[in-house]
A = this chain, B = another copy of it.
């Protein structure tokens, strides 16, 4: 048991993790095994340990509950309304994560009955205020496409320009002109040809590209 002179809230991290599959933006959710909201879908997350930095806690929870490692992670927002958890005062530091579709290897773990990727228009009712958190993350993602190189975080090691364009179109939910897109993205000088080609069906093969500095997200413009 732990006692304090003044009341202390509990602190958790929750992670909104996106990927792209089947030309859809998808979000990782877990099915809660414990109360409250037992059986509901929720964001992966959990309590911050006493000697653990916040970002480390987020990474640990993500790995424990889903097996996902090696992701782009940034702090999103901190939610602390007094009544957001029915048990006690819980403040959650929400994180926002992206993973390339070829690195996904999901397994359900201890706290979770199940784990699943959900398309944005098929998200079930979520526990706590997780719906709000997801909306904020969604907005942040769209905004960052415009002024950073964050979209590259979704790409596998090698990819075609059409695949990259698909990422932009899917997230922004808008069509993009092919010629203008190619000019723009090549002018950024953040990707380069690998020299290899991809043949996939009855049409001209496509050049493959790679990100020059895969871990890096830069502000552009």
Q: Which residues of A contact B (CB under 8 A)?
A: 1-11, 47-48, 50-54, 75, 77-78, 80-82, 89, 91, 93
Contact = CB atoms under 8 A, between A and B. Distances in A.
Given A75-B77, A75-B78, A50 B9 contact: yes
18 contacts: A1-B4, A1-B5, A2-B4, A2-B6, A4-B8, A7-B50, A8-B9, A8-B11, A9-B48, A9-B50, A51-B89, A52-B82, A53-B81, A54-B78, A54-B91, A75-B77, A78-B78, A78-B93
B2 A7 contact: yes
Nearest to A91: B11
Contacts of A80: 11, 48, 53-54, 93
B2 A1 contact: no
Nearest to A47: B6
Contacts of A11: 8-9, 11, 80, 91
A47 B7 CA distance: 10
Contacts of A77: 75
Contacts of A2: 3-8
A7 B91 CA distance: 14
Contacts of A10: 4, 6, 8
Given A2-B5, A52-B82, 15 more contacts: A1-B5, A2-B7, A3-B4, A4-B4, A4-B8, A4-B10, A6-B47, A8-B11, A9-B11, A11-B91, A50-B82, A50-B89, A53-B81, A54-B78, A78-B93
Contacts of A8: 2, 4, 8-11
A75 B50 CA distance: 24
A80 B91 CA distance: 12
A3 B7 CA distance: 8
A171 B77 CA distance: 26
- Kindly list the 8 A-B residue pairs having the minimum CB-CB distance in the complex, ordered from nearest: A8-B8, A54-B80, A7-B50, A78-B78, A3-B3, A2-B7, A51-B82, A78-B93
A50 B80 CA distance: 10
A7 B10 CA distance: 8
